[in-house]
Amino acid sequence: MKKIAIGLVSTFLATSLVACSNSASEKQPDYTVKNVNVAITDNFHLIGQTFAKDSSGKKVDVKNKALYYEFKMKQNGDRNKFKKDKDVLEATIIPDPDLKKASKDIVGVDIFKKDHDEYGYGMGMVGFDATKSGKVSIDYEVGATVKNNYIPLAPSDKELKKLAKVARHGTLVLTRDKKEIARYSLEDLKPIEK
């Protein structure tokens, strides 16, 4: 009798473990975030160039600066699922209250809102062709380094360091075809349950 009871308990535990591992694999997000680098940069290879007119009406490169995030990521699951992602995937940052406050205090606006007339936002995606690994980058403009009539001058490097210091206080959100597919904590890069 004892052997039957132990056998039944063992079978139940094994079945439970299989069920748990199946449900855990079902919840795995489409992407795993492996690493993130955050910087304030004026490197146009990373953030592009912004042109505006100077006081005489001449078009000039304003040599913009931006808060730049670069995520190393890995796709999970069937590769067919990701074929169109370079065209339809979007990544944004939702700042925690202290990051939003730092943005407002240092830059003068919440740079994470996308409806600014003066401050731009950019996103890029490279890799994911021959392998499941690649990079997703996001940049939020913090100002220009050349005086112009359209984009305010960037705060000092000292002030921008304060912004960079809290830049990982927020959430990375991935959307595909305008539909949210995952959220990740910027601090530990782990997925956040909805």
Cβ(161)–Cβ(83) under 8 Å?
A: no
pLDDT score of 81: 79
Instruction: Quote the pLDDT of residue 11.
Output: 43
Higher pLDDT, 103 or 26: 103
Q: Residue 76: helix, strand or coil by DSSP?
A: coil
pLDDT tens, position by position, 151-173: 899 999 999 999 999 999 999 99
Per residue in 5-33, pLDDT (tens digit) is 444 444 444 444 444 444 444 568 899 99
Q: What pairs with residue 182 in β-bridges?
A: 174
- The pLDDT of residue 97 is above 80: yes
Global pTM?
Answer: 0.82
Mean pLDDT computed over 123-150 = 90
Radius of gyration over alpha carbons of the chain, in Å? 22
Q: Compute the distance between CA of residue 92 and CA of residue 171 in angstroms, rounded to an integer.
A: 8
Question: Using CA atoms, how far apart are residues 74 and 188, in angstroms rounded to an integer?
Answer: 16
Q: How far apart are CA 118 and CA 60, in angstroms?
A: 16
E strand intervals along the chain: 31-41, 51-53, 59-61, 64-75, 89-95, 121-127, 133-144, 170-176, 179-185
Q: Residue 164 has which token pair?
A: 């960079």
Residue 65 above 90 pLDDT?
A: yes
pLDDT band for 57, please (50, 70, 90 cuts).
Answer: confident
List the chain domain ranges.
28-185
- Determine the Cα–Cα distance for residues 23 and 161; give it in Å rounded to an integer: 42
Lowest mean pLDDT among 35-39, 53-57, 101-105: 53-57
Instruction: Return the structure tokens found at 170.
Output: 């927020």
